[in-house]
Chain A
Amino acid sequence: MSQPLIPVSIQWAVHLLTLLVLPPLIPGLINKVKAVMAGRSGPPVLQLYYDLAKLAHKRAVFSRTTTWVFLAGPIGTVVAGMVAGLLVPFGHTGTPLSFEGDVILFAYLFGLARFLTVLSALDTGSSFEGMGAAREVAFSALAEPALFLGFAALAKASSSLSLSTMLLGSGLGSGRIAGPLILVLVGWAIVFLAENARIPVDDPNTHLELTMIHEVMVLDHSGRPLALVLYGASLKLLVLGAMLMDPLFPRAPQAWQNWLIFYAGLGALAVAVGLVESMTARFRMTKVPQFLIAGILASAFAFLLLLV
């Protein structure tokens, strides 16, 4: 506790505020980029905020087959995203909570969110949602090792087990770490796209249920539960995006500069995702595992490079 109290509490407040308010902006940015690339004017950047406000006032419809587990998915996604957001640093601005081994908790929180989402999809008894759930668990079994191998590489490089030191301690400065770090980030970028159901793994805009992964699992959610689902998805974009971008951020002397860098980085990530989505088509479902295995290999090579 060498730092004075007031700046720290301001940092905390900004962190929490960012975590609560910022997420719906990111999908808006991505969609705007896609619209501009396609020559459309597109929906406003704040569209998701309007949608959430509208959904919050709508009545939810529940099927007669569902139980309380149907609501566990939306709640679990948001809660896990929030807690994970407390663990991940937003650039060089200090993390509210950081302890040894929080990386594992971080990864397992997303596992928890996925488990509950899958269960709430299966709760409807719909075969479409069962299909999406089956795909989700199959692909996540490949995404998980890629994520953990990346953690292992960074843990080895930074000899630390806490998310904030792992992501921010290494930096691109030292030449020995630069190569592995790039590979880790490549692997994580793949994980990021897969976890957030973006092209080329999944298409958030598709209208054919048979080809969906994530969207099809939440077909039967409506009203406030749907609002939570949408908000939870954007929260995941923010938190995993912060994890992906953190090692790239330079450290600035002032706190406000660090925040600006962080926001700029997130904006850049959203633009990049929008560009990827504009320029590539989604893979055939059978190609997705190969793409994810490429992610595992990238992280594994990063680790091997650190060993020699």
Chain B
Amino acid sequence: MRLYLLAVLLMMSSGFPGLFLRRRGGEVAAVLMSLGAVIGLTAAIRVLAGGPVATFALPPAPLATAGLLTLDPIGAFFAIPVFLLPACAAIYGIGYWDDHQENVRTLRLVLGLLAASLAFLIVSTHALPFLLGWEGMAISAFILVMTEDRLPEARRAGWIYLVCTHTGTLALFGAFAILYSASGHWVLSGLPRDFAASGQGTVLFVLCLFGFGLKAGIMPLHLWLPPTHAAAPSHVSSVMSGVLIKMGILGLVRLLSWIPDPPFWWGAVLMALGAISGILGVAFALGQHDLKRLLAYHSIENIGIILLGLGLGTLGKSTGHPVIQLLGFAGALLHVLNHSLFKGLLFLAAGSVVHAVGLRDLERMGGLGRRMPWTSAAFLVGSWAICGLPPLNGFVSEWLIYLGSFRALGFFQWPWSLVVLTALALIGALAMACFAKAYGAVFQGSPRTEAAGAAHESPRSMLVPMGILAVACAIIGLAPMLLAPALDRVVAALGEGTGMPHLSLLVNLPSLTILALVMLGLVVLLWRWLRPVDSGGTLPTWDCGYAVSSPRMQYTASSFADGLVGGLRWVLWPMSHGGKVTRSFPVDQPFESHVPDPVLDRLADPVFRSLSAGATLLRFFQGGQLHVYLLYVLLTLLTLLLWMVA
């Protein structure tokens, strides 16, 4: 535990020296952050490898409850992305947000604070440190989103985020109050049996689902996610999408670990929300033109996949089927880790593109694969993994959830697990379409604008973190059995722990490795067979003789997705303006299409606008005239007097 706290301190202080240094602040921050990450990961891996669960309690009286901070398997598992990603982001930040950028010192300082709050939060097993960590995370993330505060877009995103996160915290206050009334202390620990089925238990579940769901970005509560991820600097987005939204999942996982007997409908609700978030998340991603907004919608999709696994595991727990519980929870938790790795990677690669081109609009890119080969390879690895394609890590976690739902088909007589199955299959196919669109529009073909044509590969300090994450994706994909014992321990902490089978005995992970190696071997063979005929490539694309005269004739990202967006018209409600050809000799016509967010743009924005318009009516009572206010006082006193007399 001491080791862990040292790591938290190191991360927290990583930005301080930069405040006083004229140069090299980024390097210092990166070194401190990486050092903290290595120490913290050591502490976490020791627990995951079966070491003793460490606790930490403060000696003074008021807080002297046992287990103020506990590094248990759940916390240790979440610690892997919590340490890995901020360290990668700090290294990346050296080149990406260098000393000439605005607010660079604040950025480095607060990134360290965010990392420390996250690391503090995941080991908190008492309401007070939990909320402290939670708020520290929320506020430092707010400051990070506002890094480019001269842009109205960043200010708007920041405010939306701040409002959302505090609404969520309010729900958590309620949830912890219920926990206190049920258990009599503020230590977050197991609840008695039958509590979950009571009315209080229901309220607790709903509050937690709202508070944690708002952070995780479950579909109707996701409204802050796309604008925030788009507006923040890319390495901040990678930490937010990779780690911060996972804290919502951590909260739900902790809740499930306190409840010995979750009711059946909890699992069903989680599963339904998962299916909604998953399918709608990827559907809305298909409609985006902004690279980082697109990735943000994919975060919602992946949270959906995680919830499908959590829901399945909860169903297994509530009906007493340890196999389904294990497969569902293990799949969900592994997907938490996997998603942080590949989504962090994707955001870093997207940042590298933004750094080189200065734009986020997919329609203005193209041909970057030749100009930025390493970034392009990194983005490809991330896309490959996020689509759940073998043999990378995304496949392994989705595979576990699939296995759980197929097993559940045998146990349950109703078709809930079929929902998981079809949702996963549909999500997989749509995600593939979306990443083919993104990768194709950004990296392939020829550049559509001059800015894209002039792009150069990013500095090595930005490529190395991407390499680390890409290698991590490949390792988990090739050797998933390395993580099996750790997953066993985490799931055991989540459930009863008795009669739980072992993951390595239940599923055949080594065969995945064998097949992956067979694939690698075949690829090498075929590559060598093709290689000698490589002929430089000096000709244009043949294209049936239509040698492309203008790069603008290429298929755009919008046209690529048009078929699917059109097919999903009834949920996406895409909007388009212009493009009508009227006369026989038509003149140039502008055309624009976009898919607005259903909750933020179509619901929350109009509602709050009309609310604030309505609130101006109340201004009549506050005219700024002292005698009117004195009249109010008099009237209030009179009313109170009458009320007392009566």
Contacts and interface: CB of A to CB of B under 8 A. Distances in A.
A and B interact physically: yes
Interface of A: 59-67, 69, 71, 74-75, 78-80, 82-83, 86, 97, 99-102, 104-105, 107-109, 111-112, 114-115, 118-119, 122-131, 133-135, 137-138, 140-141, 143-145, 147-149, 151-152, 155-156, 159, 161, 209, 219-220, 223-225, 228, 289, 303, 307
B551 A111 contact: no
Contact of B554 (A127, A145, A289): A127
Contacts of B409: 152, 155-156
A115 B432 contact: yes
Interface in B510-537: 511-512, 514-515, 518-519, 522-523, 526-527, 529-530, 533-537
B445 A123 contact: yes
B540 interface: yes
Contact of A127 (B437, B553, B561): B553
B445 A65 contact: yes
A134 B436 CA distance: 9
Nearest to B392: A112
Contact of B432 (A111, A122, A152): A111
B515 A105 contact: yes
Contacts of B540: 63-65
Nearest to B394: A108
Contact of A138 (B415, B425, B445, B567): B567
Interface stretch (B140-148, B225-233, B302-310, B363-371): B363-371
B78 interface: no
Most buried by B among A65, A156, A225: A65
Given A125-B445, A133-B560, A303-B415, A225 B530 contact: yes
B395 interface: yes
A133 B119 CA distance: 44
Given A125-B541, A134-B559, A144 B429 contact: yes
B436 A112 contact: no
A46 to B, nearest CB: 22
Contacts of B536: 62
A125 B548 contact: yes
A225 B537 CA distance: 14
Interface string B528-571: 01100111111111111010100101110001111110010000
B407 A111 contact: no
A109 B390 contact: yes
B422 interface: yes
B389 A307 contact: no
Contacts of B443: 67, 69
B120 interface: no
Contact of B421 (A61, A111, A148, A159): A148
Given A61-B539, A105-B390, A134-B562, A83 B403 contact: no
Pairs A-B, 5 closest by C-beta atoms: A130-B555, A125-B445, A122-B440, A137-B433, A62-B537
B429 A75 contact: no
A66 B425 CA distance: 31
Contacts of A107: 425
B195 interface: no
B405 to A, nearest CB: 9
A86 B523 CA distance: 16
Nearest to A131: B555
A223 B445 contact: no
B380 A145 contact: no
Contacts of B518: 83, 86
A141 B429 CA distance: 5
A243 to B, nearest CB: 16
A128 to B, nearest CB: 6
29 contacts: A63-B542, A64-B537, A65-B445, A71-B527, A74-B530, A97-B511, A97-B514, A99-B508, A100-B507, A108-B388, A115-B389, A118-B440, A123-B440, A125-B446, A125-B554, A127-B555, A130-B555, A133-B560, A134-B559, A134-B563, A137-B436, A144-B429, A151-B406, A155-B410, A161-B406, A209-B544, A219-B543, A219-B544, A224-B530
A75 B214 CA distance: 43
Contacts of B511: 97, 99, 102
A125 B433 contact: no
B240 to A, nearest CB: 27
B428 interface: yes
Contacts of A289: 567
Contacts of A102: 511
B515 A100 contact: no
Contact of B533 (A59, A108, A149, A155): A59
B563 A138 contact: yes
B418 interface: yes
Interface string B393-432: 0010011001100110110010100100110111011101
B572 interface: no
B541 A60 contact: no
Contacts of A115: 384, 387, 389, 432, 435-436
B444 interface: yes
B373 interface: yes
A71 B429 contact: no
A125 B366 contact: yes
Given A125-B551, A152-B409, A141 B564 contact: yes
Given A86-B518, A119-B439, A220 B543 contact: yes
A269 to B, nearest CB: 25
B376 interface: yes
A112 B389 CA distance: 6
